[in-house]
Structure 1
Amino acid sequence: MNEATPPNRCRIVLIAPPGVPAARIVTAFDGGDVASLILPENGMDEASFQAFAERIVPAAQAAGYAGVAGDDDSNAGDTRIAGRVQADGIHVEVSKAELAETIEHSQAKMMVGTGGAKTRDDALELGETRPDYIFFGRFGYDNKPEPHPRNLSLGAWWADMIQIPCIVMAGSDIASVEAVGATGAEFVALSSAVFADGTDPRTAVATANALLDETAPRFED
Protein backbone atom coordinates (compact mmCIF):
# COMPACT_ATOMS: atom_id res chain seq x y z
CA MET A 1 0.00 0.00 0.00
CA ASN A 2 1.06 3.59 -0.44
CA GLU A 3 2.87 5.24 2.45
CA ALA A 4 0.48 8.19 2.38
CA THR A 5 -2.84 7.79 4.13
CA PRO A 6 -5.04 5.99 1.58
CA PRO A 7 -8.28 7.69 0.53
CA ASN A 8 -11.40 6.60 2.37
CA ARG A 9 -13.19 5.46 -0.79
CA CYS A 10 -12.94 2.92 -3.60
CA ARG A 11 -9.28 2.44 -4.58
CA ILE A 12 -7.55 1.25 -7.74
CA VAL A 13 -6.14 -2.21 -8.38
CA LEU A 14 -4.09 -2.47 -11.57
CA ILE A 15 -4.09 -5.67 -13.61
CA ALA A 16 -1.28 -6.17 -16.12
CA PRO A 17 -2.66 -7.31 -19.50
CA PRO A 18 -0.84 -9.78 -21.78
CA GLY A 19 2.23 -8.43 -23.53
CA VAL A 20 2.46 -5.13 -21.69
CA PRO A 21 6.13 -4.09 -21.32
CA ALA A 22 7.48 -3.80 -17.82
CA ALA A 23 8.33 -0.15 -18.43
CA ARG A 24 4.69 0.73 -19.11
CA ILE A 25 3.62 -0.91 -15.88
CA VAL A 26 6.23 1.02 -13.91
CA THR A 27 5.08 4.27 -15.54
CA ALA A 28 1.63 3.80 -14.02
CA PHE A 29 3.16 3.89 -10.55
CA ASP A 30 3.59 7.66 -10.80
CA GLY A 31 -0.11 8.33 -11.40
CA GLY A 32 -1.22 8.50 -7.77
CA ASP A 33 -2.94 6.24 -5.28
CA VAL A 34 -3.11 2.55 -6.16
CA ALA A 35 -3.76 -0.22 -3.66
CA SER A 36 -2.14 -3.10 -5.51
CA LEU A 37 -0.95 -4.56 -8.79
CA ILE A 38 -2.05 -8.02 -9.93
CA LEU A 39 0.29 -9.78 -12.35
CA PRO A 40 -1.62 -12.55 -14.14
CA GLU A 41 0.38 -15.37 -15.69
CA ASN A 42 -1.12 -14.44 -19.07
CA GLY A 43 -0.06 -17.68 -20.73
CA MET A 44 3.63 -17.39 -19.83
CA ASP A 45 5.54 -20.49 -18.81
CA GLU A 46 6.71 -20.70 -15.23
CA ALA A 47 10.24 -19.44 -15.88
CA SER A 48 9.08 -16.49 -17.99
CA PHE A 49 6.42 -15.52 -15.49
CA GLN A 50 8.88 -15.64 -12.61
CA ALA A 51 11.38 -13.49 -14.52
CA PHE A 52 8.65 -10.98 -15.36
CA ALA A 53 7.41 -10.85 -11.76
CA GLU A 54 10.97 -10.41 -10.49
CA ARG A 55 11.21 -7.20 -12.54
CA ILE A 56 7.83 -5.79 -11.56
CA VAL A 57 7.03 -6.79 -7.97
CA PRO A 58 9.98 -4.99 -6.31
CA ALA A 59 9.20 -1.83 -8.30
CA ALA A 60 5.57 -2.00 -7.24
CA GLN A 61 6.51 -2.47 -3.61
CA ALA A 62 9.00 0.41 -3.78
CA ALA A 63 6.16 2.60 -5.05
CA GLY A 64 4.01 1.56 -2.10
CA TYR A 65 1.81 -0.97 -3.93
CA ALA A 66 1.08 -4.53 -2.91
CA GLY A 67 2.34 -6.91 -5.61
CA VAL A 68 0.06 -9.90 -6.24
CA ALA A 69 0.92 -12.80 -8.53
CA GLY A 70 -1.62 -15.15 -10.00
CA ASP A 71 -4.03 -16.03 -12.78
CA ASP A 72 -7.28 -17.64 -13.82
CA ASP A 73 -6.88 -21.40 -13.43
CA SER A 74 -4.02 -20.87 -11.00
CA ASN A 75 -2.01 -23.74 -9.61
CA ALA A 76 0.61 -24.52 -7.00
CA GLY A 77 3.31 -23.18 -9.31
CA ASP A 78 1.91 -19.69 -8.96
CA THR A 79 2.10 -19.96 -5.18
CA ARG A 80 5.75 -20.99 -5.38
CA ILE A 81 6.53 -18.12 -7.75
CA ALA A 82 4.78 -15.64 -5.47
CA GLY A 83 7.02 -16.81 -2.65
CA ARG A 84 10.18 -16.68 -4.76
CA VAL A 85 9.59 -13.10 -5.87
CA GLN A 86 8.44 -12.10 -2.37
CA ALA A 87 5.04 -10.97 -3.62
CA ASP A 88 2.57 -9.62 -1.09
CA GLY A 89 -0.15 -11.95 -2.30
CA ILE A 90 -1.42 -14.63 -4.64
CA HIS A 91 -4.58 -14.57 -6.76
CA VAL A 92 -6.12 -17.98 -7.45
CA GLU A 93 -9.29 -18.99 -9.27
CA VAL A 94 -9.88 -22.59 -8.29
CA SER A 95 -12.48 -24.76 -6.57
CA LYS A 96 -13.61 -24.05 -3.03
CA ALA A 97 -11.60 -27.03 -1.73
CA GLU A 98 -8.44 -25.94 -3.54
CA LEU A 99 -8.91 -22.36 -2.36
CA ALA A 100 -9.27 -23.54 1.23
CA GLU A 101 -6.05 -25.53 0.89
CA THR A 102 -4.17 -22.56 -0.56
CA ILE A 103 -5.44 -20.33 2.24
CA GLU A 104 -4.40 -22.87 4.86
CA HIS A 105 -0.88 -23.14 3.49
CA SER A 106 -0.24 -19.58 2.36
CA GLN A 107 -2.41 -16.98 4.11
CA ALA A 108 -0.06 -16.68 7.09
CA LYS A 109 2.68 -15.55 4.68
CA MET A 110 0.78 -13.57 2.03
CA MET A 111 -2.65 -12.37 0.97
CA VAL A 112 -4.81 -14.92 -0.83
CA GLY A 113 -7.46 -13.51 -3.14
CA THR A 114 -9.87 -15.28 -5.43
CA GLY A 115 -12.35 -14.77 -8.24
CA GLY A 116 -14.38 -16.71 -10.76
CA ALA A 117 -17.78 -16.35 -9.09
CA LYS A 118 -20.61 -15.85 -11.58
CA THR A 119 -23.50 -15.99 -9.11
CA ARG A 120 -24.21 -14.99 -5.53
CA ASP A 121 -24.13 -18.64 -4.50
CA ASP A 122 -20.71 -19.06 -6.12
CA ALA A 123 -19.43 -16.01 -4.26
CA LEU A 124 -20.79 -17.14 -0.91
CA GLU A 125 -19.22 -20.58 -1.37
CA LEU A 126 -15.83 -19.03 -1.95
CA GLY A 127 -16.37 -16.54 0.84
CA GLU A 128 -16.76 -19.35 3.35
CA THR A 129 -13.01 -20.00 3.02
CA ARG A 130 -12.29 -16.41 4.16
CA PRO A 131 -10.03 -15.15 1.35
CA ASP A 132 -8.52 -11.68 1.70
CA TYR A 133 -10.66 -10.44 -1.19
CA ILE A 134 -12.99 -11.63 -3.92
CA PHE A 135 -12.72 -10.42 -7.51
CA PHE A 136 -15.78 -9.94 -9.72
CA GLY A 137 -14.83 -10.03 -13.38
CA ARG A 138 -12.39 -11.82 -15.64
CA PHE A 139 -8.88 -10.84 -16.58
CA GLY A 140 -8.77 -9.66 -20.18
CA TYR A 141 -12.52 -9.20 -20.56
CA ASP A 142 -12.61 -5.45 -19.99
CA ASN A 143 -13.02 -4.86 -23.74
CA LYS A 144 -16.15 -2.72 -23.56
CA PRO A 145 -16.23 0.87 -22.30
CA GLU A 146 -18.54 0.07 -19.39
CA PRO A 147 -18.20 -2.60 -16.66
CA HIS A 148 -20.17 -5.80 -17.11
CA PRO A 149 -23.60 -5.35 -15.45
CA ARG A 150 -23.32 -8.69 -13.66
CA ASN A 151 -20.05 -7.65 -12.04
CA LEU A 152 -21.56 -4.36 -10.90
CA SER A 153 -24.58 -6.17 -9.46
CA LEU A 154 -22.48 -8.75 -7.63
CA GLY A 155 -20.14 -6.08 -6.33
CA ALA A 156 -22.96 -3.92 -4.97
CA TRP A 157 -24.63 -6.91 -3.28
CA TRP A 158 -21.35 -8.19 -1.81
CA ALA A 159 -20.19 -4.80 -0.56
CA ASP A 160 -23.53 -4.29 1.18
CA MET A 161 -23.69 -7.75 2.79
CA ILE A 162 -20.19 -9.14 3.32
CA GLN A 163 -17.17 -7.78 5.21
CA ILE A 164 -14.56 -9.43 2.97
CA PRO A 165 -13.40 -6.74 0.51
CA CYS A 166 -14.28 -7.05 -3.15
CA ILE A 167 -12.66 -5.88 -6.39
CA VAL A 168 -14.90 -5.13 -9.38
CA MET A 169 -13.55 -5.06 -12.94
CA ALA A 170 -14.03 -1.72 -14.67
CA GLY A 171 -14.41 -1.25 -18.43
CA SER A 172 -12.01 -0.03 -21.09
CA ASP A 173 -13.10 3.59 -20.53
CA ILE A 174 -11.39 5.22 -17.56
CA ALA A 175 -14.69 6.93 -16.66
CA SER A 176 -16.14 3.50 -15.83
CA VAL A 177 -14.49 3.75 -12.40
CA GLU A 178 -17.45 5.92 -11.43
CA ALA A 179 -19.93 3.08 -11.91
CA VAL A 180 -17.78 0.71 -9.87
CA GLY A 181 -17.23 3.24 -7.11
CA ALA A 182 -20.98 3.79 -6.85
CA THR A 183 -21.49 0.11 -5.94
CA GLY A 184 -19.66 0.58 -2.65
CA ALA A 185 -16.93 -1.88 -3.67
CA GLU A 186 -13.64 -1.36 -1.90
CA PHE A 187 -11.59 -1.67 -5.08
CA VAL A 188 -11.93 -1.07 -8.82
CA ALA A 189 -9.73 -3.07 -11.19
CA LEU A 190 -8.25 -1.30 -14.21
CA SER A 191 -6.37 -2.96 -17.03
CA SER A 192 -6.99 -1.93 -20.66
CA ALA A 193 -8.16 1.53 -19.54
CA VAL A 194 -4.63 2.15 -18.26
CA PHE A 195 -2.40 0.00 -20.45
CA ALA A 196 -4.00 0.06 -23.93
CA ASP A 197 -1.84 1.25 -26.82
CA GLY A 198 -1.88 5.03 -27.09
CA THR A 199 -2.78 5.51 -23.41
CA ASP A 200 -0.38 7.12 -20.96
CA PRO A 201 -0.61 4.88 -17.86
CA ARG A 202 0.44 7.69 -15.51
CA THR A 203 -2.27 10.03 -16.80
CA ALA A 204 -4.89 7.28 -16.77
CA VAL A 205 -4.25 6.46 -13.11
CA ALA A 206 -4.30 10.14 -12.18
CA THR A 207 -7.59 10.63 -14.03
CA ALA A 208 -9.15 7.59 -12.36
CA ASN A 209 -8.16 8.88 -8.94
CA ALA A 210 -9.62 12.30 -9.70
CA LEU A 211 -12.92 10.74 -10.78
CA LEU A 212 -13.07 8.60 -7.66
CA ASP A 213 -12.27 11.60 -5.48
CA GLU A 214 -15.18 13.45 -7.04
CA THR A 215 -17.82 10.71 -7.21
CA ALA A 216 -17.08 7.65 -5.05
CA PRO A 217 -18.95 7.38 -1.75
CA ARG A 218 -16.84 7.61 1.39
CA PHE A 219 -16.60 4.62 3.70
CA GLU A 220 -17.47 4.78 7.36
CA ASP A 221 -14.45 4.81 9.67
Structure 2
Amino acid sequence: MADQKPPKRCRLVLITPANHSADDLEQKIGAALEGGDVASLIVPIFDLHEAEFQSLCGRIVAIAHAKGVAVIISGDTRIAARVKADGVHMEAGKAALADAIDRLQDKMNVGAGGIKTRDEALDLGEARPDYIFFGRFNYDNTPEPHPRNLGLAEWWAEMIEIPCILLGGSQVDSVVTAAETGAEYVALSAAVFSEGLDPREQVSRVNELLDQKAPRFES
Protein backbone atom coordinates (compact mmCIF):
# COMPACT_ATOMS: atom_id res chain seq x y z
CA MET A 1 0.00 0.00 0.00
CA ALA A 2 1.08 3.57 -0.57
CA ASP A 3 1.60 4.41 3.10
CA GLN A 4 3.64 1.30 3.95
CA LYS A 5 7.23 0.31 3.28
CA PRO A 6 7.38 -2.59 0.79
CA PRO A 7 8.17 -5.87 2.53
CA LYS A 8 11.65 -7.31 1.99
CA ARG A 9 10.41 -10.56 0.50
CA CYS A 10 8.60 -11.83 -2.57
CA ARG A 11 5.68 -9.53 -3.39
CA LEU A 12 2.36 -10.02 -5.13
CA VAL A 13 1.61 -8.92 -8.69
CA LEU A 14 -1.99 -9.21 -9.90
CA ILE A 15 -2.98 -10.03 -13.48
CA THR A 16 -6.45 -8.88 -14.49
CA PRO A 17 -8.56 -11.83 -15.71
CA ALA A 18 -10.23 -12.32 -19.09
CA ASN A 19 -13.97 -12.37 -19.80
CA HIS A 20 -15.08 -9.84 -17.22
CA SER A 21 -16.95 -6.60 -17.80
CA ALA A 22 -15.20 -3.35 -16.96
CA ASP A 23 -17.62 -2.76 -14.08
CA ASP A 24 -16.96 -6.22 -12.66
CA LEU A 25 -13.20 -5.76 -12.95
CA GLU A 26 -13.40 -2.39 -11.21
CA GLN A 27 -15.21 -4.01 -8.30
CA LYS A 28 -12.85 -6.98 -8.10
CA ILE A 29 -9.68 -4.91 -8.37
CA GLY A 30 -10.90 -2.39 -5.83
CA ALA A 31 -11.60 -5.20 -3.38
CA ALA A 32 -8.26 -6.90 -4.06
CA LEU A 33 -6.30 -3.73 -3.38
CA GLU A 34 -7.98 -3.46 0.02
CA GLY A 35 -6.49 -6.82 0.99
CA GLY A 36 -2.88 -5.79 1.57
CA ASP A 37 0.39 -5.30 -0.26
CA VAL A 38 0.22 -5.46 -4.07
CA ALA A 39 3.30 -4.40 -6.01
CA SER A 40 1.59 -3.90 -9.36
CA LEU A 41 -1.21 -4.86 -11.73
CA ILE A 42 -0.59 -6.27 -15.21
CA VAL A 43 -3.43 -5.73 -17.69
CA PRO A 44 -3.46 -8.06 -20.74
CA ILE A 45 -5.55 -7.13 -23.78
CA PHE A 46 -6.90 -10.66 -24.33
CA ASP A 47 -9.60 -10.34 -27.04
CA LEU A 48 -10.64 -6.73 -26.45
CA HIS A 49 -10.74 -4.18 -29.24
CA GLU A 50 -8.32 -1.27 -28.89
CA ALA A 51 -10.92 1.28 -27.79
CA GLU A 52 -12.37 -1.11 -25.20
CA PHE A 53 -8.92 -1.94 -23.92
CA GLN A 54 -7.90 1.71 -23.59
CA SER A 55 -11.09 2.52 -21.69
CA LEU A 56 -10.56 -0.42 -19.35
CA CYS A 57 -6.92 0.49 -18.76
CA GLY A 58 -7.85 4.05 -17.90
CA ARG A 59 -10.33 2.87 -15.29
CA ILE A 60 -7.86 0.41 -13.78
CA VAL A 61 -5.08 3.01 -13.62
CA ALA A 62 -7.36 5.37 -11.71
CA ILE A 63 -8.27 2.69 -9.14
CA ALA A 64 -4.72 1.41 -8.72
CA HIS A 65 -3.02 4.79 -8.50
CA ALA A 66 -5.46 5.83 -5.79
CA LYS A 67 -3.99 2.94 -3.76
CA GLY A 68 -0.37 3.63 -4.72
CA VAL A 69 -0.19 0.55 -6.95
CA ALA A 70 1.63 0.57 -10.30
CA VAL A 71 -0.11 -0.54 -13.51
CA ILE A 72 1.62 -2.32 -16.40
CA ILE A 73 -0.15 -2.51 -19.76
CA SER A 74 0.54 -5.56 -21.91
CA GLY A 75 1.74 -5.04 -25.44
CA ASP A 76 0.52 -1.57 -26.41
CA THR A 77 2.96 1.24 -25.67
CA ARG A 78 0.60 3.88 -27.09
CA ILE A 79 -2.23 2.96 -24.76
CA ALA A 80 0.17 2.71 -21.85
CA ALA A 81 1.25 6.30 -22.49
CA ARG A 82 -2.29 7.59 -23.05
CA VAL A 83 -3.61 6.23 -19.75
CA LYS A 84 -0.47 7.26 -17.83
CA ALA A 85 0.43 3.71 -16.87
CA ASP A 86 3.66 2.94 -15.05
CA GLY A 87 4.95 0.34 -17.46
CA VAL A 88 4.46 -1.86 -20.49
CA HIS A 89 4.80 -5.64 -20.79
CA MET A 90 6.34 -6.86 -24.05
CA GLU A 91 6.09 -10.33 -25.61
CA ALA A 92 6.96 -9.49 -29.23
CA GLY A 93 10.63 -10.50 -29.22
CA LYS A 94 13.97 -8.87 -28.59
CA ALA A 95 13.82 -6.19 -31.31
CA ALA A 96 10.45 -4.86 -30.15
CA LEU A 97 11.58 -5.04 -26.53
CA ALA A 98 14.79 -3.13 -27.22
CA ASP A 99 12.87 -0.49 -29.20
CA ALA A 100 10.37 0.00 -26.35
CA ILE A 101 13.17 0.30 -23.82
CA ASP A 102 15.00 2.82 -25.98
CA ARG A 103 11.89 4.98 -26.40
CA LEU A 104 10.36 4.64 -22.95
CA GLN A 105 13.18 4.07 -20.46
CA ASP A 106 12.90 7.59 -19.06
CA LYS A 107 9.09 7.46 -18.96
CA MET A 108 7.98 4.04 -17.76
CA ASN A 109 9.15 0.54 -16.92
CA VAL A 110 9.44 -2.06 -19.67
CA GLY A 111 9.19 -5.76 -18.85
CA ALA A 112 9.64 -8.89 -20.96
CA GLY A 113 7.60 -12.09 -21.19
CA GLY A 114 6.78 -14.88 -23.59
CA ILE A 115 9.80 -16.91 -22.41
CA LYS A 116 10.02 -20.70 -22.63
CA THR A 117 13.75 -21.44 -22.34
CA ARG A 118 16.90 -20.21 -20.64
CA ASP A 119 18.32 -19.11 -23.98
CA GLU A 120 15.25 -16.97 -24.66
CA ALA A 121 15.49 -15.45 -21.19
CA LEU A 122 19.16 -14.59 -21.61
CA ASP A 123 18.55 -13.16 -25.08
CA LEU A 124 15.84 -10.83 -23.82
CA GLY A 125 17.87 -10.04 -20.72
CA GLU A 126 20.57 -8.53 -22.93
CA ALA A 127 18.14 -5.69 -23.64
CA ARG A 128 18.06 -4.93 -19.88
CA PRO A 129 14.30 -4.91 -19.25
CA ASP A 130 13.04 -3.89 -15.84
CA TYR A 131 11.82 -7.43 -15.19
CA ILE A 132 11.49 -10.86 -16.78
CA PHE A 133 8.17 -12.70 -16.57
CA PHE A 134 7.97 -16.51 -16.45
CA GLY A 135 4.53 -17.82 -17.37
CA ARG A 136 1.66 -17.23 -19.77
CA PHE A 137 -1.36 -15.06 -19.08
CA ASN A 138 -4.53 -17.09 -18.44
CA TYR A 139 -2.58 -20.34 -18.01
CA ASP A 140 -2.67 -20.42 -14.20
CA ASN A 141 -5.16 -23.29 -14.29
CA THR A 142 -3.34 -25.80 -12.07
CA PRO A 143 -2.97 -25.47 -8.29
CA GLU A 144 0.81 -24.95 -8.37
CA PRO A 145 3.08 -23.00 -10.76
CA HIS A 146 4.15 -24.81 -13.94
CA PRO A 147 7.33 -26.84 -13.23
CA ARG A 148 9.14 -25.31 -16.20
CA ASN A 149 8.48 -21.81 -14.92
CA LEU A 150 9.59 -22.78 -11.43
CA GLY A 151 12.87 -24.04 -12.81
CA LEU A 152 13.43 -20.96 -14.94
CA ALA A 153 12.67 -18.60 -12.04
CA GLU A 154 14.97 -20.43 -9.63
CA TRP A 155 17.81 -20.41 -12.17
CA TRP A 156 17.24 -16.76 -13.08
CA ALA A 157 16.97 -15.52 -9.49
CA GLU A 158 20.24 -17.21 -8.61
CA MET A 159 22.20 -16.04 -11.65
CA ILE A 160 20.79 -12.71 -12.86
CA GLU A 161 20.20 -9.37 -11.12
CA ILE A 162 17.20 -8.33 -13.24
CA PRO A 163 14.08 -9.04 -11.13
CA CYS A 164 11.71 -11.78 -12.21
CA ILE A 165 7.97 -12.34 -11.87
CA LEU A 166 6.80 -15.95 -11.62
CA LEU A 167 3.23 -16.89 -12.48
CA GLY A 168 1.68 -18.75 -9.56
CA GLY A 169 -1.05 -21.35 -9.64
CA SER A 170 -4.79 -21.33 -9.18
CA GLN A 171 -4.48 -21.69 -5.39
CA VAL A 172 -3.16 -18.98 -3.08
CA ASP A 173 -0.86 -21.48 -1.36
CA SER A 174 1.17 -21.62 -4.58
CA VAL A 175 2.82 -18.34 -3.61
CA VAL A 176 4.94 -20.22 -1.08
CA THR A 177 6.37 -22.51 -3.76
CA ALA A 178 6.95 -19.49 -5.99
CA ALA A 179 8.72 -17.50 -3.28
CA GLU A 180 11.05 -20.41 -2.51
CA THR A 181 12.61 -20.00 -5.97
CA GLY A 182 14.00 -16.61 -4.95
CA ALA A 183 11.74 -14.74 -7.40
CA GLU A 184 11.15 -11.15 -6.42
CA TYR A 185 7.48 -11.29 -7.43
CA VAL A 186 4.71 -13.87 -7.77
CA ALA A 187 1.81 -13.15 -10.13
CA LEU A 188 -1.72 -14.38 -9.47
CA SER A 189 -4.98 -14.09 -11.35
CA ALA A 190 -7.28 -17.12 -10.99
CA ALA A 191 -6.34 -17.55 -7.33
CA VAL A 192 -7.67 -14.08 -6.58
CA PHE A 193 -10.33 -13.31 -9.20
CA SER A 194 -12.10 -16.63 -9.92
CA GLU A 195 -15.86 -16.81 -9.46
CA GLY A 196 -16.91 -17.30 -5.86
CA LEU A 197 -13.72 -15.89 -4.34
CA ASP A 198 -13.44 -12.69 -2.30
CA PRO A 199 -10.46 -10.84 -3.83
CA ARG A 200 -9.83 -8.92 -0.64
CA GLU A 201 -9.63 -12.10 1.44
CA GLN A 202 -7.44 -13.82 -1.15
CA VAL A 203 -4.89 -10.98 -1.24
CA SER A 204 -4.89 -10.82 2.54
CA ARG A 205 -4.18 -14.56 2.70
CA VAL A 206 -1.38 -14.26 0.12
CA ASN A 207 0.34 -11.63 2.21
CA GLU A 208 -0.04 -13.69 5.37
CA LEU A 209 1.59 -16.66 3.65
CA LEU A 210 4.43 -14.57 2.25
CA ASP A 211 5.01 -12.87 5.61
CA GLN A 212 5.19 -16.24 7.33
CA LYS A 213 7.07 -18.36 4.79
CA ALA A 214 8.80 -16.36 2.05
CA PRO A 215 12.60 -16.01 2.25
CA ARG A 216 13.76 -12.52 3.23
CA PHE A 217 15.86 -10.45 0.85
CA GLU A 218 18.97 -8.65 1.97
CA SER A 219 18.79 -4.87 2.14
For the criterion TM > 0.5, the same-fold answer is yes
Q: Give distance in 2, aligned partners of 1:183 and 1:62.
A: 32
Q: Give distance in 2, aligned partners of 1:2 and 1:122.
A: 35
Unmatched segments (≥5 aa) in structure 2: none
- Matching residue of 2:184: 186
Which amino acid is 2:66 matched to? Answer: A
The counterpart of 1:41, out of the listed 42, 45, 51, is 45
Cα deviation, 1:112-131, whole Å, max 9, x if unaligned, reads 01111111110000000000
- Matching residue of 1:152: 150
1:98 to partner: Cα distance = 1.2
Structure 2 residue 58 is matched with structure 1 residue 58: no
C-alpha contact (below 8 Å) 1:13/1:35 kept by paired residues = yes
Instruction: State the identity as a percent.
Output: 58
Q: Give distance in 1, aligned partners of 2:93 and 2:80.
A: 20
- Matching residue of 1:10: 10
Unmatched segments (≥5 aa) in structure 1: none
Q: Give distance in 2, aligned partners of 1:117 and 1:68.
A: 18
- Matching residue of 1:85: 83
Which amino acid is 1:6 matched to? Answer: P
- Matching residue of 1:27: 31
C-alpha contact (below 8 Å) 1:2/1:34 kept by paired residues = no
Q: Give distance in 2, aligned partners of 1:3 and 1:18.
A: 30
The counterpart of 1:168, out of the listed 166, 169, 192, is 166
With the length of structure 2 as denominator, give the TM-score of the two structures.
0.96
Q: CA RMSD in A?
A: 0.9
Q: Give distance in 1, aligned partners of 2:81 and 2:167.
A: 26
Q: Give distance in 2, aligned partners of 1:158 and 1:61.
A: 30
C-alpha contact (below 8 Å) 1:136/1:155 kept by paired residues = yes
- Matching residue of 1:202: 200
C-alpha contact (below 8 Å) 1:9/1:217 kept by paired residues = yes
Cα deviation, 1:30-55, whole Å, max 9, x if unaligned, reads 00001000111111111000000111
Q: Give distance in 2, aligned partners of 1:23 and 1:165.
A: 30
Q: Give distance in 1, aligned partners of 2:129 and 2:198.
A: 33
Q: Give distance in 1, aligned partners of 2:3 and 2:130.
A: 20
Q: Secondary structure at the match of 1:13?
A: strand
With the length of structure 1 as denominator, give the TM-score of the two structures.
0.95
1:2 to partner: Cα distance = 3.0
1:3 to partner: Cα distance = 3.1
Aligned residues: 215
